Structure 1
Amino acid sequence: MYRKPLFVHSDQTIYLIESLDSNREVSEKLNQFSEQVKAPEGVFTFKITPHSIWSAAARKLSSSEIISFLKEHSQNHIQPALEEMIHRHIKEFGTLKLIRSNDYLDLEAIHPSIISKIQNETELIALEPIKVDDRTLRFTSTNRSKIKETLFNLNFFVSDESNTFGEPLEIRLNPKTKSDMYFTLRPYQDDAVNSYLEYSESTGGGVIMMPPTSGKTIVGLKIIEQLKTCTLVLVENFASGSKWLRELSDKTDLSKNSIGYFQGDPSDIKPITIAEYPQFKNIDALESIQTVDWGLIIYDNAHRLPADTFSQTVDIPSYKKLGFASTLARSDQKGQLVHAWIGPKLYEILPRTLEIQGFVKSVSCMEVRIPLQGEDLDHYNYSRAREDTPSMLKIAAMNPNKITSLKPILVPNMSENILIVSYKPALAKQISNEFDYPFIHTSTLDKELQSIIDLFNLRKKTRLVTTSISEQIPITSIDVMVALSYNHGSEREEYLRVGKLMFPEKGTSKGVLVSFVSENTVEEGAYTRRRRSMIRNGYRYKITSLSDLLEGKVTIWD
């Protein structure tokens, strides 16, 4: 019988037995110097990496503190090689820094041996550095993000001290919202704010990791209030930007003239400016936004930064940078570049911790296998014979049996709020017409669409149909989400769908995701990869057949 919760391997992998960590104290401490990579029920998997150790060093954790914690809670002996790795990366943190030297950037090392070690690396030579002395390499200022990325890939972290101070801004959070409701930060939100303010001093910025619906925007507002500096907020789309606008207007004392939404016109730039990442594909827009001395740049949905259309924003000058993300998982495996560009992880709270604390709803997931039949099956087999994958995906997604299969979910659950989502807009429109349900198909909400959403959130309408834009619009009161089609194997889409269900409400403690998947098709194969990824992260899935659902052998609440 195990008495301690951890098994620590020399390959930097750590296994945590959940039943021996009922109060979550061990997992939350682990999260300060390692990364959770799997979280199926019972046993969680963490991994110690160079950048996870840098995050620990930024938070002033010592190597002896980390090793003592592991020894105290580990069932097995800690290997000397792992201890050496932890000591080495803690010691290396802060040994390289970027400072501004007129129109150049100087990379300074605390010891000549570090410059000797890196100056002959091919990737760094390509940036054409000038050796100033035995501790300094000089680069052109346009190469800042590339310097940091190159050294990050070589397992060196660079503290960026090249930023200039931003313009001051008087801002205060109001004790009441515009609707006269008192609001305060939750304890974990306060912890996120304090961690960023304390630990970003030595790094120039950092990343805060919080699950969907946990209040990242509120954390951002509090950090702006504390820094009291002009701030640029970069968002993925108009829906996300509108949320920031609403929260700034509702919860701060700023006037409308102090808040701008940048759409390319320099007159849009205000002390607090919200802008969408894709705007800065335009060189004129990029130059305009750099006319302000920003004290803080907030990168919302920071996992998007490695995309070509977003990455140019990392070189916009600012005193501090802050990245918000629910996950840094990307199909191209480039998510960790966010740490190179923005800074180390300075705070993270895990979904399971918030669930246990009652701040988010628990979510269970059911996969229902829907058969293809008749002509649709014939067309699918014909496309498979021709190896026409796009046609196979379309036929599986548009499976008409998905529509008839909705009734055993819709009819017995008349009082529950049910959101029906489809990656394929045509299928969503078909459902809307078939059942005469409201259809939200754009994130640009006019008064009529906003009214429909408000009625759903107030539970005065219990059915709503939408597309993948559901993640961009403020739908909150969801008991059941029925997913009908998918962006192939996108793990992030699945994570965000589950995140929508986690929104906390009084009187409700559970949400259900029901996914209709065409049986024995490429859709089933792609969805299997999504399901396995979610199971690794602690979500519970049940697989059932359509016949069992129709015959009442299972229900979505089982």
Structure 2
Amino acid sequence: MTDSLPGPLIVQSDKTLLLEVDHERADDCRKAIAPFAELERSPEHIHTYRLTPLGLWNARAAGHDAEQVVDTLLEFSRYAVPHALLVDVAETMARYGRLRLEKHPVHGLVLVSNDRPVLEEVLRAKRVAGMVGARIDDDTVVVHPSERGNLKQALLKIGWPAEDYAGYVDGEAHEIELDQTEWSLRTYQKEAAESFWHGGSGVVVLPCGAGKTLVGAAAMAHAKATTLILVTNTVSARQWKDELVRRTSLTADEIGEYSGSVKEIRPVTIATYQVMTTRRKGVYSHLELLDARDWGLIVYDEVHLLPAPIFRMTADLQARRRIGLTATLVREDGREGDVFSLIGPKRYDAPWKDIEAQGWIAPAECIEVRVTLPSSERMAYAVAEPEERYRLASCTHHKIDVVRRLVTQHTDQPTLVIGQYLEQLDEIATALDAPTITGATPVKERQRLFEAFRSGDVGLLVVSKVANFSIDLPTAEVAIQVSGSFGSRQEEAQRLGRLLRPKTEGKSAHFYTIVSRDTVDAEFAANRQRFLAEQGYAYSIRDADS
């Protein structure tokens, strides 16, 4: 590399950053801007990122200051960086922490500011009305303890995110130690747990297969308190239990499952999102679980999938330490701000390619296979209602032939065929004579099939979106995606994540997406791939007919 080589980044005054993918410094630049910039578009040669207040505040909460962000932009920019943008970055990041939530020895929870006009401004905001009480002095106002979460949400929405120094209750003590006689925490897992513990609440972002459960266990060992773990489904709950029994001093009797079929409350209780959001006659009948014990720690697994009602519940849990675990903070419902204010800011984020370079996750080859709809299907697609077009494009019978060829190509490799439409999955399973797992498959049967896949007794599984998250299938080497949840970036990340456990002899994983060209299927696929492009994965494109 020569000093005179122009940089790979073009920084524009509308807060977009254009990254030249083929530049020799592109990877270094991508890693440097990842803590504060969000990828928006990722075609072949130029990727577009955007600076947003939330991204900058997340970076600030994670310990990055405005000077670091500015230096990064100046270092990698090809042209002069617009001065107004640099000023805006500094001023946006300076908004974080001018308001603080603290504990007052007499008045309890208070909102404090070192910038009096800011305090005056927010106290006059309609969103804040009713959440605060008496004014103690010019810089301090009482906050109703029950409004701690709601106030943080409101302040974020009006552009003045508060730093929460009000502390946490210790909860009911319960001894938990990591049992590292036959294993040890990886450096990044230890750093992630310590970053969370130092902040008291927040989100840890790690690739699928990088051991997020162990980070959760390490957080529990820090807290040494009763813990409520919220997970996506019953299979995940049982995997968490098995892992905790294996990796910590906890016994099976100390860990309870709280799901549709079992209602156990123990010092460590693992509950599914589904049971927590079940309503009877308009009432969330299982909310008492939140108050069933004096919890010292709440763990949110796959926090990017957290259902909206649990955000409202989480507003009442602000005095408890909270850790969110996820492979991606992308939320398709746009509620990243709620994660920030109610669970906590991003405390740790390890780029996927960095973890891959250390050998902790497998390298992956991502391939998009494009098929052409037959004439009869093209006509049906052309005249269909917009809401029907994605199903028609996704479920073309032409994809079954492609799946069959790919399965044959990888005969000796454990393979998952993943899709969203059940009829399509049934057809594929019949064509391949393979077992299917969907939401209708009983939990015991799911566990049996997953275990058979892990042991090698079953080499091919056809699965619906129930296998997107929290399912540990370390032997999987090939995934073939035939349909997805429209343009869900988080889903793409989860599905690739099924393959990333390290392989024997350093093998690569293969992630195929079969897409119908000239349809919304192709448009949604491009959107789904954005997150993985941000992590440094490139898709090669093949024609199914060539």
- Give the whole-Å Cα distance in 2 for the aligned partners of 1:80 and 1:519: 43
Quick check: 2:65–2:93 contact (8 Å CA) kept in 1?
yes
With over 3 angstroms needed to count, the CA separation of the structure-2 counterparts of 1:283 and 1:377, relative to structure 1, is: closer
Quick check: 2:418–2:463 contact (8 Å CA) kept in 1?
yes
Deviations 1:85-124 (A, max 9, x none): 4544554443322346799853222343221122222322
With over 3 angstroms needed to count, the CA separation of the structure-2 counterparts of 1:412 and 1:264, relative to structure 1, is: closer
* Partner SS, residue 426 of structure 1: helix
Deviates more, 1:485-494 or 1:8-17: 8-17
- Give the whole-Å Cα distance in 1 for the aligned partners of 2:11 and 2:231: 39
Deviates more, 1:216-225 or 1:361-370: 361-370
With over 3 angstroms needed to count, the CA separation of the structure-2 counterparts of 1:529 and 1:40, relative to structure 1, is: closer
Mapping of residues 521-532 of structure 1, within 5 Å? 521-531=519-529
Mapping of residues 17-416 of structure 1, within 5 Å? 20-21=24-25, 28-35=31-38, 47-64=50-67, 66-68=69-71, 71=74, 76-77=79-80, 79-99=82-102, 105-125=109-129, 127=131, 130-160=134-164, 161=166, 163-176=168-181, 182-198=182-198, 200=199, 204-263=200-259, 268-281=264-277, 282-305=283-306, 307-308=308-309, 310-373=311-374, 376=377, 380-381=380-381, 384-385=382-383, 387-416=384-413
Quick check: 1:10–1:79 contact (8 Å CA) kept in 2?
yes
What does residue 464 of structure 1 align with? 461
- Give the whole-Å Cα distance in 2 for the aligned partners of 1:38 and 1:488: 16
Quick check: 2:147–2:315 contact (8 Å CA) kept in 1?
no
Quick check: 1:105–1:162 contact (8 Å CA) kept in 2?
no
Mapping of residues 369-518 of structure 1, within 5 Å? 369-373=370-374, 376=377, 380-381=380-381, 384-385=382-383, 387-442=384-439, 449-472=446-469, 473-518=471-516
* Partner SS, residue 294 of structure 1: coil
With over 3 angstroms needed to count, the CA separation of the structure-2 counterparts of 1:158 and 1:292, relative to structure 1, is: farther
* Partner SS, residue 406 of structure 1: helix
Deviates more, 1:212-221 or 1:322-331: 322-331
Q: TM-score, normalised by structure 2?
A: 0.85
Which AA in structure 2 matches 1:357? Q
- Give the whole-Å Cα distance in 1 for the aligned partners of 2:191 and 2:223: 16
Deviations 1:339-398 (A, max 9, x none): 1212221110111222233222222333333344476555x15xx43x423444443333
Quick check: 2:234–2:443 contact (8 Å CA) kept in 1?
no
The structural deviation recorded for 1:422 is 2.0
What does residue 280 of structure 2 align with? none
With over 3 angstroms needed to count, the CA separation of the structure-2 counterparts of 1:266 and 1:310, relative to structure 1, is: farther
Deviations 1:395-441 (A, max 9, x none): 33332222233332233332222211221122212222222212223
- Give the whole-Å Cα distance in 2 for the aligned partners of 1:265 and 1:375: 47
With over 3 angstroms needed to count, the CA separation of the structure-2 counterparts of 1:375 and 1:259, relative to structure 1, is: same
* Partner SS, residue 507 of structure 1: helix
Q: TM-score, normalised by structure 1?
A: 0.84
With over 3 angstroms needed to count, the CA separation of the structure-2 counterparts of 1:544 and 1:443, relative to structure 1, is: same
- Give the whole-Å Cα distance in 2 for the aligned partners of 1:521 and 1:470: 26
The structural deviation recorded for 1:338 is 0.9
- Give the whole-Å Cα distance in 2 for the aligned partners of 1:533 and 1:187: 25
With over 3 angstroms needed to count, the CA separation of the structure-2 counterparts of 1:474 and 1:445, relative to structure 1, is: farther
Quick check: 1:6–1:74 contact (8 Å CA) kept in 2?
yes
The structural deviation recorded for 1:216 is 0.8
- Give the whole-Å Cα distance in 2 for the aligned partners of 1:17 and 1:514: 25
The structural deviation recorded for 1:250 is 0.9
Deviates more, 1:429-438 or 1:443-452: 443-452
* Partner SS, residue 154 of structure 2: helix
User: Alpha carbon RMSD of aligned pairs, Å?
Assistant: 3.4
* Partner SS, residue 113 of structure 1: helix
With over 3 angstroms needed to count, the CA separation of the structure-2 counterparts of 1:279 and 1:231, relative to structure 1, is: same
* Partner SS, residue 97 of structure 1: strand
Quick check: 2:58–2:346 contact (8 Å CA) kept in 1?
yes
Deviations 1:299-355 (A, max 9, x none): 211123362455423422443211112212223322232112122211101112222
With over 3 angstroms needed to count, the CA separation of the structure-2 counterparts of 1:437 and 1:154, relative to structure 1, is: same
- Give the whole-Å Cα distance in 2 for the aligned partners of 1:265 and 1:481: 31
Q: How many residues align?
A: 534
* Partner SS, residue 285 of structure 1: coil
Long gaps (5+) in structure 1: 177-181, 549-558
- Give the whole-Å Cα distance in 2 for the aligned partners of 1:522 and 1:88: 40
Quick check: 2:227–2:267 contact (8 Å CA) kept in 1?
yes
Which AA in structure 2 matches 1:152? L
Quick check: 1:443–1:469 contact (8 Å CA) kept in 2?
no
What does residue 5 of structure 2 align with? 2
Long gaps (5+) in structure 2: 278-282
Deviations 1:470-511 (A, max 9, x none): 224332322221222222222222222122122221224322
Deviates more, 1:249-258 or 1:314-323: 314-323
Which AA in structure 1 matches 2:178? L
Percent of pairs with identical residues? 27
With over 3 angstroms needed to count, the CA separation of the structure-2 counterparts of 1:255 and 1:87, relative to structure 1, is: same
* Partner SS, residue 321 of structure 1: strand
* Partner SS, residue 225 of structure 1: helix
Deviates more, 1:327-336 or 1:12-21: 12-21
Deviations 1:174-223 (A, max 9, x none): 124xxxxx21122221221222233x0xxx41111112111111111112
- Give the whole-Å Cα distance in 1 for the aligned partners of 2:440 and 2:222: 32
Quick check: 2:257–2:263 contact (8 Å CA) kept in 1?
no
The structural deviation recorded for 1:7 is 5.1
* Partner SS, residue 505 of structure 2: coil
